[in-house]
Amino acid sequence: MSLLEVTNLHAGYGPAEVLHGISLTVDAAEVVVVLGANGAGKTTTMRAIAGLIGRRGQVTVAGQSLPPGAPDAAVAAGLSLVPQGRGTFSKLTVEENLQVGAARRRDRAGIRTDIDRWYDVFPALASRTSQAAGTLSGGEQQMLAVARALMSRPTLLLCDEPSLGLAPLVVRSVFEILRQINADEGMAMLIVEQNAELALNLATRAYLLEVGEVVTSGAAATLRDSDAVRRAYLGY
């Protein structure tokens, strides 16, 4: 049994169906990447799994089935999504953002320890604890979004385009930190990414999405060498 099992997922917006039966799995401690062009349905997949939009099809985390359209149940099951565009609470301070990330936790001391820990990992945040999140740079906001998602102590972290709108150097450091967290914590990750090269380097396995369906999947190294992926996403 995998940690995350998505079976025959259908989802969309209003009458427009975007996902036509997607199935994928993520094992414990594994990093899986979802590749695909604009409009392939990557973000919709993430939003449907996290319960932000309705869906048909089965989503289970550690064998436990998630009800559709219930993001709090997804968080309770150990899932945490870093949404596309970061979704930081712009009017709350950095510290408050992290506190909100622990909304479902009751262990005051543990929350404090975790906040300090992520300040260590992301020093840029440590020097801005009482600054409104909306005034941070794009890179800092991405770090904050990741740190906030980690505050719920997930067993599975979903990241939707963590590189979007960031300078290449910043992107590299975000991915380096993700790699570190995966190695240290054994935290499983499902990452949607346009930057295929970076993503495939981080991931163990990958899925390739085209117009709402999985067209290829396999080990990251295999996909990196496949002609289809190369031509479409790596540009050589």
Partner 1 sequence: MQIFLDRLFDGISNGAIYAALALALVMVYRATGTINFAQGEMALFTTYLAWGLTTKHIPVAVCLLAATAAGFVLGAASERFLVRPIEKRSLLATLIVLLGLFSVLNASDGLIWGKGNQSMASLFPNKLSSYVSVFGARLYWANIGVWLLVAAVVAGMFAVFNGTRLGLHMRATANNRESAALTGIPVGRILMLGWGISAAIGAIAGVLFTPLTPDSLGLGEMFPLLIYASAAALFGGLDSPGGAVIAGLIIGIIEVMLPAYVPVIGGQLQEAIAFAAIVLVLLLRPQGLFGTREVERV
Q: How many residues bind partner 1 (CB under 8 A)?
A: 35
Considering only 39, 54, 110, 134, the residue that binds partner 1 (CB under 8 A) is 134
Which H/E stretch holds residue 22? strand 16-26
Q: Long-range contacts: 225-234, Cβ < 8 Å, 24+?
A: 229/35, 229/196, 232/37, 233/35, 233/194, 233/196, 234/196, 234/197
Q: Decide if residue 101 touches partner 1 (CB under 8 A).
A: yes
Among 6, 50, 146, 202, binds partner 1 (CB under 8 A): 50
Q: Between 153 and 179, whose beta carbon lies closer to partner 1?
A: 153
**In the complex, what is the shortest distance from the CB of residue 71 to partner 1, in angstroms, rounded to a whole number?**
4
Residues 167-191, buried b or exposed e (16+ Cβ, 10 A)? eeebbebbbebbeebbeeeebbbbb
Rounded Cα gap, residues 55 and 69, in angstroms: 7
Side chain identity, residue 189: M
Choose the binding region for partner 1 from 1-9, 70-78, 177-185, 211-219 (rule: CB under 8 A): 70-78
CA 7 to chain centre: 19
Among the listed ranges 102-110, 177-185, 190-198, 205-213, the one in contact with partner 1 (CB under 8 A) is: 102-110
The reply to whether 131 sits near partner 1 by the rule CB under 8 A is no
Residues that bind partner 1 (CB under 8 A): 50-52, 71-72, 75-76, 80-81, 83, 85, 87-92, 96, 99-104, 134-138, 141, 148-149, 151-152, 165
